[in-house]
Amino acid sequence: MNHGSPMWNNAFGIEWLDFNLSTSLMTIISSVIVFILCVMGSRNLQRRPRAFQNVMEMLVDFVKKVIGDAMDWKTGKQFLPLGLTLFMYIFVSNMLGVIIMVVVGEDHNLWWKSPTSDAATTLTLSVMVILLTNFYGVKILGGKEYLKGYIRPVPFLLPLNLIEEAANTLTLGLRLFGNIFAGEVLLSLIGESLAGVNPPFTTILAFVPMIAWQGFSLFIGTIQSYIFLVLTMVYMSHKVSKAH
């Protein structure tokens, strides 16, 4: 897989600031798609939902159930917009690179891919989630009560709790990245082998594993979206509960 990444190095004259243009582009595209889906699902609301409104209501109920399983609904209802946005954004992002990947130029730069196949994106999401859990923990419990949770039941657990915080951040982001990146690598390898075979029968034989792996990648992308949502709400529950 000889794909490169279109980079903007030393952005704005800052030596350490580099941008992956492909990831930035696909992040914007994913966000726009999610925005359009939400607008389509919330326009002309009817008592008896039809078509896309019905799908959106099912999705909202699904996210509400995930939140309800992690914490009581009285506390968790404020996290419905967060959960819905995270699930939709990660799901759309995961799907983009499965459907098609676009390589441009002599350098074989990969422009169209899943933004979640970049560790910078997934780790940014995980850092955002962990920061939000701490923010809501302080907001709901109060600063003093929240900080006491790090030294319960005994003070020497403080270092372990801090290590757990860092581990949760890394595993939440790297789990998503690893699964999506591995899927795109295998799709690229199968695609290259497909391009190198002689038609017609060998092409058909090579096309079968491509379709099979795309189907499996769709499944993995959906599962990873669900896992990210569940873990986010579990972490949030741990922070906002008095047992923290």
Dihedral sign computed on CA atoms, order 130, 232, 53, 46: negative
Share of the chain above pLDDT 90, in %: 40
**pLDDT category of residue 218 using cuts at 50, 70 and 90:** confident
CA distances from 66 to 53, 76, 209 (A): 20, 10, 34
Q: What does the pLDDT read at residue 177?
A: 93
In the predicted model, is pLDDT for residue 202 greater than 60?
no
**pLDDT category of residue 222 using cuts at 50, 70 and 90:** very high
Task: Find the mean pLDDT for residues 18-24.
Answer: 83
Per the model's pLDDT, the better-predicted residue between 241 and 26 turns out to be 26
Per the model's pLDDT, the better-predicted residue between 11 and 63 turns out to be 63
Query: Are 43 and 35 spatial neighbours (Cβ–Cβ below 8 Å)?
Result: no
Is the N-terminal amide bond of 153 cis, ω within 30° of 0?
yes
In the predicted model, is pLDDT for residue 13 greater than 70?
yes
Q: Please give the model's pTM, rounded to 2 decimal places.
A: 0.85
